[in-house]
Chains A and B, each alone.
Chain A
């Protein structure tokens, strides 16, 4: 066995280890690269572009590239923008609360009392969400107008004599439309939370002389809070930035922030202004997310 060089066993293992780590990393990069590159190119960069534009201005239909905070100043001083933000926040809050109240019993029913129909009911709640919002909002026009389904129905059956005019083209209509749009979104996480509450916990509470109502408030509801928070956060965020429902049902007397953005862009050709509004809107959304994550983290850790 003289004169041969055999690599010591130890280094076989460690070189193999290094090679496998490299291969592993290659797989990870290859897998994530398409999606991440795509999102960077078509999401991150447009957001950065918006940021850049927000510091420019539009003069005589031409872009002025000097850095300025004028757009932001305008947002905070111009009462129209202020009102738009206020309206959006109010509407979003209202919608969130109403959705929460409406969704809880439904989610509870499906989770606890639906038995075999569970899957079917859950599916039936979700699928309207996937139908184009344009069409669904369009439908509410038919329903809410003075000649619409509801008013005519009520008139024909003699309940009222004059049609309700506030139903359409009003903040009421926006709220109805948004509640309609996001209710399925709320039911889902609530259902998931309720599902996790074991029946025998509730039974145990009732065994200990709790009425059904107390059992619900003391046992079921607290455990459903995570679902409630998740639904609330998404409902609120989506409600803030929603365009289609306010545009179709709002009537144009008072604008929500998304409409203001489109106005700046389309009518006034003020892209920097629209960009600045977008950035402020995004900042609000991110702030809400950051705050809620702190809420949600300790909840989900349980």
Chain B
């Protein structure tokens, strides 16, 4: 026992933990994933992942299929038991608890609405399991029907509603139990684009209004960028970067993140002078921002990442820094933007995204390619 601690702090600590006396760790809120690993045979699905989620945060696990994001989600919800590590929700270790004892709720990819129950009965299920009194259940179900904008549809059976409505029932069913953590497993995959955008905004709004903690899983990076407070980009069972969307987008720490999120050009480069410049494969020496040069070793191979929106094209002769000369290979018009693929000598290509209204070059045309030095990112 620490004699120097103030009495009030001691009391707060002791009440806060409540399990064993002598633990003077402050009561934590939020979700802590600590060194969680899951192996299937000889392959590792989740490899020593540690992340923490603050209460009220919207966190997304983003990555390609097979990266372990769904496995991690299922470990947090309780359907998979980790081989190593701990998961704590609001200070309590849940790893040994079966799913029905954890204060989490999940929105499933296939919605999993109970077919033998009406919409209202589906919503009420979690509350019934918690043995709330009947009038209270009815009240909350009515309120939830309002919130998910399905008022009046409570008595419908689950095969009488549309896909979008079913998605909202699945959401409502999980929200209604007011979990410490709401888990969403690619819930918008089955919806068409327009509906998906609507639901994304809805989810964000509900999350903020109800001040809930959301953990979202998707492979759609646009979705992740739009909705999340923080994104954990995963690959092969590991978290490559865990930061806010703008940070992930503007300052990717690895080539994979740079490539997966947004459209980045990755140019192979060799470090010439760590203090100032480096050499691009095209033979040209290019300058990079000083912060990017920190920690680089001369002679090492790195990737130079440029966002395709940051690439500038100019007709030959017009000045654009660094002014690499190349030939336009392809122009892809996509409505509000256009992608231009420029080929240099050798096999190097660069993709430039031009906004609406920008005059488009023609195939075969010679162009100069440049960008601002500040837009360069060095990734390994």
Q: Is B36 positioned at the interface, with any CB of A under 8 Å from its CB?
A: yes
Q: How far is the CA of A53 from the CA of B95 in the complex (A)?
A: 56
Minimal beta-carbon separation of A5 from chain B (angstroms): 9
Assess A6 versus B23: contact at CB under 8 Å? Given A13-B95, A15-B96, A19-B96: yes
- Summarize A's interface: helix, strand, loop or mixed: helix
Asked if A130 is at the interface of the complex by the 8 Å CB criterion, the answer is no
CB B216 to nearest CB in A, in angstroms, measures 24
Report A-chain residues with C-beta under 8 Å of the C-beta of B34: 9
In the bound complex, how far is the Cα of B34 from the Cα of A23, in angstroms? 24
Once the chains bind, are B93 and A17 in contact (CB under 8 Å)? no
With known contacts A2-B2, A3-B1, A20-B81, A13–B24 Cβ distance under 8 A? no
How many of chain A's residues have a CB under 8 angstroms from any CB in B? 16
- Min CB gap A26→B, angstroms: 13
Cβ-defined contact, B95 with A16, below 8 A: yes
Q: Is A14 an interface position by the 8 A CB rule? A: yes
Binary A-proximity of B73-105 (CB < 8 A = 1, otherwise 0): 000000001111110000001011010000000
Mark out the residues of chain A between 15 and 34 whose CB falls within 8 Å of any chain B CB in the assembled complex. Answer: 15-17, 19-20, 23
Q: How far is the CA of A15 from the CA of B36 in the complex (A)?
A: 13
Q: From residue 3 to 36 of chain B, which have CB atoms closer than 8 A to chain A?
A: 22-25, 34-36
Q: Which residue of B lies closest to A23 (CB)?
A: B98
Query: With A and B bound together, what is the CA distance between A112 and B36 in angstroms?
Result: 54
In Å, the complex CA distance between A6 and B37 comes to 20
**By DSSP majority rule, is chain B's interface helix, strand, loop, or mixed?**
loop
- Cβ–Cβ < 8 Å partners of A162 in chain B: none
**Contact indicator B95/A10 (Cβ below 8 Å):** no
Residues of B within 8 A of A2 (CB): 2
Q: Known contacts A9-B35, A19-B96: does B83 contact A14 (CB below 8 Å)? A: yes
A6 touches B82 (CB 8 A): no
A181 to B98, CA, bound (A): 51
With A3-B22, A4-B25, A6-B25 given, is the CB distance from A13 to B86 under 8 Å?
A: yes
Query: Given A1-B25, A3-B22, A4-B23, are A12 and B83 neighbors across the interface (CB < 8 Å)?
Result: no
Q: Which residue on chain A has the smallest CB distance to residue B84?
A: A13
What is the distance, in angstroms, from A1's C-beta to the closest C-beta of chain B? 7
Query: What residues on B are CB-neighbors of A4 within 8 Å?
Result: 22-25
Q: Would you call A16 and B25 a contact (CB within 8 A)?
A: no
CA–CA, A296 to B1, complex, Å? 73
Find out whether the CB atom of A14 lies under 8 angstroms from the CB atom of B84: yes
B24 touches A12 (CB 8 A): no
Q: Is the CB of A9 within 8 A of B25?
A: no
Cross-chain contact of B37 among A1, A13, A23 (Cβ < 8 A): A13
Interface residues of A in 75-108 (CB under 8 A from B): none
Complex interface: chain B residues within 8 A of A10 (CB): 35, 84-85
Interface centre among A13, A14, A15, A23 (most CB of B within 10 A): A13
In the complex, which of the residues A6, A12, A23 contacts B95, with contact meaning CB atoms closer than 8 Å?
A12
A23 to B101 Cα, complex, angstroms: 15
The proximity string for A residues 240-271 relative to B, scoring 1 for CB distances below 8 Å and 0 otherwise, is 00000000000000000000000000000000
A13 touches B25 (CB 8 A): no
* Contact (Cβ within 8 A) A12 B1: no
The residue on A at minimum CB distance from B50 is A9
- Cβ contact of B96, chosen from A3, A6, A12, cutoff 8 A: A12
Q: How far, in angstroms, from A78 to B23 measured CA to CA in the complex?
A: 87
Identify the closest chain A residue to B97 (Cβ).
A16
* Least CB distance, B257 to chain A, in whole angstroms: 26
A17 near B22 with CB under 8 A, answer: no
The docked-state distance in angstroms from the alpha carbon of A75 to that of B86 is 69
B83 and A9 contacting across the interface, CB-CB below 8 Å: no
- Knowing A1-B24, A16-B96, A19-B96, the reply to whether A9 touches B81 (Cβ < 8 A) is no
Instruction: State how many angstroms separate the Cβ of A11 from the closest Cβ of chain B.
Output: 8
CB distance from B76 to the nearest CB of A (A): 13
In angstroms, Cα B36 to Cα A19, docked, is 17
Given contacts A10-B35, A16-B82, 4 further A-B contacts (CB under 8 A): A6-B23, A10-B85, A12-B95, A12-B96
18 residue pairs from A and B, CB less than 8 Å apart: A4-B22, A4-B25, A6-B23, A6-B25, A9-B34, A10-B85, A12-B93, A12-B95, A12-B96, A13-B82, A13-B83, A13-B95, A16-B82, A16-B96, A17-B82, A17-B83, A19-B96, A20-B81
Instruction: State the 10 A-B residue pairs at the shortest beta-carbon distance, nearest first.
Output: A12-B86, A9-B86, A16-B95, A13-B84, A16-B96, A13-B82, A20-B81, A9-B34, A13-B85, A9-B35
Binding site for B on A (CB under 8 A): 1-4, 6, 9-10, 12-17, 19-20, 23
